[in-house]
């Protein structure tokens, strides 16, 4: 198999259901998800401490799910032969893990700077690229129908990465760095 096909030399690429320009919003959206996947893999290379083993396993699961999201966006709506791959249970898993990771980290009152440990910094990069992917998907959604679960998944994933970065710092004994000019923007929920 050749890695080069020459079919894209004129600025077009194939998607499920046709060919589009390489700068098409659909290609931009799933291409940005591919970037998220790459940064997720990079973050995993920093997860060498035993306390991050479960997180590393989750990140690998997420890498597969990011392929699912990209696959769903690479289909012209109505031309898919199989059901979409991105489902509500994938979103529910992220929500469960967000809650668990949030409980591991100290209470949050102010905005924090991306960083702390190397692994947390890498996770924050994945988080910000996930937010960009989400913005690309919103632009695509204005033009055509998409699997709405992909948009929700990407929104939740960036929250997941934020919580995971904070949990990684906590597990590794590093404090989050608060943005020094931030007012108190997060308040603790009162027990009822």
Query: Which pLDDT belongs to residue 28?
Result: 86
pLDDT confidence band for 34 (50 / 70 / 90): very high
Measured distance CA(39)–CA(44) in Å, rounded: 9
Residues 6+ apart with CB under 8 A from 185: 109, 110, 111
Which neighbouring-strand residues pair with 113? 177
Q: β-pairing, 12-15 with 18-21?
A: antiparallel
pLDDT tens digits, residue range 89-144? Answer: 999 999 999 999 999 999 988 899 999 999 999 999 999 999 999 999 999 999 99
Given a cut of 90, whether residue 4 has pLDDT beyond it is no
pLDDT > 70: what percent of the chain?
84
pLDDT confidence band for 39 (50 / 70 / 90): very high
């Amino acid at each position: 198999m050749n890695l080069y096909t020459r079919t894209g030399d004129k600025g077009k690429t194939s998607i499920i259901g046709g060919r589009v320009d390489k700068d098409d919003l659909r290609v931009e959206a799933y291409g940005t998800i591919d970037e998220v996947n790459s940064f997720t893999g990079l973050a995993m290379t920093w997860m060498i401490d035993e306390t991050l083993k479960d997180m590393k396993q989750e990140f690998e699961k997420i890498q597969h799910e990011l392929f699912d999201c990209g696959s769903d966006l690479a289909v012209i709506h109505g031309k898919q032969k199989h059901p979409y791959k991105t489902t509500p249970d994938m979103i529910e898993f992220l929500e469960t893990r967000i809650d668990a990771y949030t409980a591991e980290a100290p209470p949050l009152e102010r905005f924090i700077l991306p960083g702390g440990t190397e692994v947390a910094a890498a996770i924050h990069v994945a988080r910000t690229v996930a937010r960009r992917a989400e913005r690309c998907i919103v632009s695509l959604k204005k033009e055509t129908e998409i699997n709405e679960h992909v948009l929700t998944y990407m929104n939740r994933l960036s929250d997941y990465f934020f919580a995971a970065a904070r949990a990684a710092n906590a597990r590794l004994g590093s404090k989050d760095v608060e943005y020094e000019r931030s007012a108190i923007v997060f308040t603790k929920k009162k027990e009822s």
